[in-house]
Copies of this chain bind each other. A is one copy, B any other.
Amino acid sequence: MDEAEAAPPGTTVPAQRGRLVLVPNALDHGAVAQELGAVLPRAALQWAARLRHWLVEDARSARAFLKRVDAVVPLEQPLQSLAITELPRPPKGRRPGPPCEDSARDAATKALLAPALDGNDIGLLSEAGLPAVADPGAAVVGAAHALGLAVLPLPGPSALVLALAASGLDGQSFAFVGYLPQDAAARCERIRALEATSRRLKQTQIFIETPYRNNALLGSLLECAAAATRLSVSQALTLPEGSSRTASIGQWQRLHAAQPAQAPLLSDRLPAVFLLQA
């Protein structure tokens, strides 16, 4: 990183700045008693065991994560002594949007990084996967760059790219577009727009849904997308019940028709990633 500049002669050597360390989480949302060493690399676990300052989405689940870390790599400090701060909740609405330019919020975000100005490394943790990807952490990372802090992303899993790899759809050109509209007509229109974009740019389109609406979204896709469009759905990747299925919309329609109504094709409990290529 480029923080290690020698001080000019005759000046006081400035205190070493702390780094913002992006710590990956497992993809299981704490739902299973998965051993973290199976899914996170040792570098991530060792860092997590060492950090005393944390910025997290939810303090309770962050503590649960750190207990799981402790079972693999003992924490250097007792859990109760760690400084765990929750990120401000994003503004209401499904998508908080890009890091806000608003100067008050900007100042508040920078204030979260104060421990790093005093030389402490700070861990940024998401509820699942990599922080700042498909979650509200990006503003803090942006603030770290603005303050000249080094940002250190630790290797770990991301459900979006695992689903892309597992899809067999074009992995050399893809876009993640977040959530689709909930209104049926607007959603149908959006699905057709995604197909048009996919065709025009030869680009795989990736989107997500709240688990209990998985089958509703699948229903819209089967209704609105073209029969030849390829659809991939991955659920619960990295978990024992994980699955990935890729087929044309026409094939999905036949699978759906063959399925008893009380046994829908997708689980409404497990997180899903949807991908289409038209």
Q: Does A120 make an interface contact (CB < 8 A)?
A: no
The minimal Cβ–Cβ distance linking A47 to chain B, given in whole angstroms, is 11
Q: Does A83 make an interface contact (CB < 8 A)?
A: no
Return the contact of A2 from the options B37, B38, B243 (Cβ within 8 A): B243
Return the contact of A142 from the options B134, B138, B151, B169 (Cβ within 8 A): B169
User: How many monomers of this protein are in the complex?
Assistant: 2
Q: Does A42 make an interface contact (CB < 8 A)?
A: yes
* Contact-size category for A: 35 or more
Which of chain B's residues have a CB closer than 8 A to the CB of A234?
Answer: 153
Return the contact of A151 from the options B151, B171, B173, B244 (Cβ within 8 A): B244
Q: Does A55 make an interface contact (CB < 8 A)?
A: no
A interface residues (Cβ-Cβ under 8 A, vs B): 1-2, 22, 27, 37-43, 95-99, 130-135, 137-145, 150-158, 160-178, 202-203, 232, 234, 237-238, 242-247, 277
Closest to A144 in B: B168
Which of chain B's residues have a CB closer than 8 A to the CB of A141?
Answer: 165-168, 246
Q: Are B153 and A156 in contact (CB under 8 A)?
A: no
The minimal Cβ–Cβ distance linking A190 to chain B, given in whole angstroms, is 13
